[in-house]
Structure 1
């Protein structure tokens, strides 16, 4: 073992950087290479720039403040070049890293736990007039009004304990602020960025279908796909049936979308008939919401046989459909409740990982920046899962931020002490390797931490 390897081993044994260790465990350099993050002859390795971005997100720093506080940061152009490089395959980076994390989780997962895909979309406000990918007329549930912003469709994986973002896409529709042909960067039609750009005009249903297919074909397994009523249409469920993926979803009480083969062709007609014939059970959601429920099995000409659980609250009738007829009513309701996991994921992404706070106008840079937010979220979720005392994401987030500061300051202080010792003539004379050890320590520290941070 050479000097560099010995020092790296010693530092790893004494000072542990969980983010760096997780990236090593994922073999992130290989993943980046497969996603076409290839270093040019001159310049910084993409791996180090990605590592810096992960640190920025965990430490809640923008590029400018990170550069101000880090003596080992790169030049500003280095970070922006990574975000705008048209050859990098950001989708592949996210999907390959998530697949590896899920494989690593097998050793701590309960084999009997139900794994689910969750499909949903969210709206992020963007006020800039020329932000590529933004559009007008988006309904914001948070603000209860239509706003200008971006519509992000995403696919999440949950095993009931941890959540990970697998894929996402932006949907622009017909109300674009900037048309695709007017985007500022001209791209080669063969590059990854151009292919990613072309999906933006596709409808959300088509985008969602493509995401699920990619996830299944990549080797990620889930027992069920959970979606809300917007995505749950007969054609979509038929596609999932063909894919061999079972669906549990809320469906819209809309006679134009849902007409069944039974005598009672609409949801309202079925509910009115069966509420008289069946004894409804009573359930609760949280502390305040009480509901009654019962189920029936029906057939649709496109979606096939379905089990519908009718949930009746004081104000609403909520039909939940399952393509798995073997599940009982309670199981269907409990599994569908896990659709909330993706909403919690969005909340944590906004609060701790800079999602929705991107300051980029160029579409490709927005995609890159959101991918990095999802990637950092997945890394922290994994660290939380394998720790002996799992915490909330917020609690772990703060601990990691503090730990990164402590690691960097401790190592730099130690090296500065060594520098002072090296200035003592007698020590240098008696140990010719001393200055070499200091240089190796400095290099090893930068490699392990990725930067030098001073408060």
Structure 2
């Protein structure tokens, strides 16, 4: 990836998973149309769930895969698959995937991203996806998971007992180095995956806490929180595509293939705009010129520092005896004369008094 080459090796690169509502409230006959629930607005709507996988390095977000999810429940489905679709084509396979749940599709999406050479270290997920079977499926692919968890029936091993998240909070050790980080603990999930759970203050409600889970136990508490904060990029992506790139509004077709094509075009627009923005703000896109300027700046910094050192030494010599000053000046002159010419040009010329 061109963007990945602009990212420093020490910077974290992540995959971000999230879903968003894809409204078709005014439609009556759209292929695979279903009744869905919007958790943000707390209401039902007609349409799809747009499951999205994106890549981010903290500066640029790029969508790399998506799926428009319908529902496998007969009560929720409004329209079914078009019976004239050839079952051997990729369009029919996408329709079958639309009837799957998000946890069933996510491992395949991540596997496709890794097999295509996407450079990443972690998968970031919201609390809707941090289920133990899904975490196990992703870690088996060799990638770590960082996500928020909520108090559910999931159990964690502490010593010889299995406890829930609330009990885990009471058993964890307090963290005093940062006021917003309350506690942290290393534990093991019921499926045998070792994790580190960090409890942070809920800014919206000071009396409550939030829990962030990481399968990479080598990270510090602050690194886990900082990395999870990169998940906000996907929320900005959803806002931009719906508000400015006319996702859901530009196209009103009834075919599922047309819905996929429309979403792909919108995502492609966003990728091009993100790349253009990165090129206009990242100086490394100047190529060799950037590195030549960097070398020149480093050379100038070295020359300035050496000149300042000589000035300090000269000021110190003015306060000493003439005999000592004469001897030190002669030694410096001989040393400077022995240096290469490309270093001499940056040093002052000293006269050795006889």
**TM-score bucket of the superposed structures, by smaller chain:** 0.7 to 0.9
Assess, with a 3 A threshold, how the Cα gap between structure 1 residues 239 and 383 changes in structure 2: closer, same or farther: same
Q: Deviations over 1:74-110 (max 9, x none)?
A: xxxxxxxxxxxxxxxxxxxxxxxxxxxxx22244222
Match among 316, 328, 333 for residue 220 of structure 2: 328
Can you give the 5+ residue segments of structure 2 that lack an aligned partner in the other structure?
A: 284-354
Runs of 4+ in 1 over 6 A off after TM superposition: none
1:179 aligns with 2:80: yes
Contact 1:355 1:373 in 2 (8 A): yes
Q: 1:366 aligns to what SS in structure 2?
A: helix
Q: How far did residue 373 of structure 1 move?
A: 0.5
Q: 1:220 aligns to what SS in structure 2?
A: coil
Contact 2:156 2:188 in 1 (8 A): no
The Cα RMSD (Å) is 1.9
1:129 aligns with 2:28: yes
Q: How far did residue 273 of structure 1 move?
A: 2.5
Distance in 1, matches of 2:186 and 2:118, equals 30
Contact 2:150 2:165 in 1 (8 A): no
- 2:198 corresponding residue in structure 1: 309
Match among 377, 381, 384 for residue 270 of structure 2: 377
Match among 155, 164, 173 for residue 258 of structure 1: 155
Contact 1:165 1:378 in 2 (8 A): yes
Aligned residues: 274
Contact 2:54 2:65 in 1 (8 A): yes
Distance in 2, matches of 1:124 and 1:172, equals 10
Q: 2:163 aligns to what SS in structure 1?
A: coil
Q: 1:239 aligns to what SS in structure 2?
A: helix
- 1:208 corresponding residue in structure 2: 106
Distance in 2, matches of 1:216 and 1:266, equals 33
Higher-strand-fraction structure: 2
Can you give the 5+ residue segments of structure 1 that lack an aligned partner in the other structure?
A: 1-102, 284-290, 391-455
Distance in 2, matches of 1:145 and 1:168, equals 23
Q: 2:44 aligns to what SS in structure 1?
A: strand
Assess, with a 3 A threshold, how the Cα gap between structure 1 residues 106 and 279 changes in structure 2: closer, same or farther: closer
Distance in 1, matches of 2:194 and 2:50, equals 31
Match among 344, 353, 357 for residue 245 of structure 2: 353
- 2:261 corresponding residue in structure 1: 368
Assess, with a 3 A threshold, how the Cα gap between structure 1 residues 351 and 137 changes in structure 2: closer, same or farther: closer
Contact 1:261 1:301 in 2 (8 A): no
Contact 2:181 2:198 in 1 (8 A): no
Match among 131, 134, 137 for residue 239 of structure 1: 137
1:297 aligns with 2:194: no
Distance in 1, matches of 2:32 and 2:200, equals 38
Distance in 1, matches of 2:200 and 2:119, equals 29
Distance in 2, matches of 1:272 and 1:281, equals 19
Q: Deviations over 1:408-451 (max 9, x none)?
A: xxxxxxxxxxxxxxxxxxxxxxxxxxxxxxxxxxxxxxxxxxxx
- 1:65 corresponding residue in structure 2: none
Distance in 1, matches of 2:192 and 2:263, equals 34
Contact 1:134 1:151 in 2 (8 A): no
- The correspondence of residues 383-398 of structure 1 with structure 2, limited to 5 A, is 383-388=276-281
Higher-helix-fraction structure: 1
TM-score (norm: length of structure 2): 0.73
Assess, with a 3 A threshold, how the Cα gap between structure 1 residues 335 and 106 changes in structure 2: closer, same or farther: closer
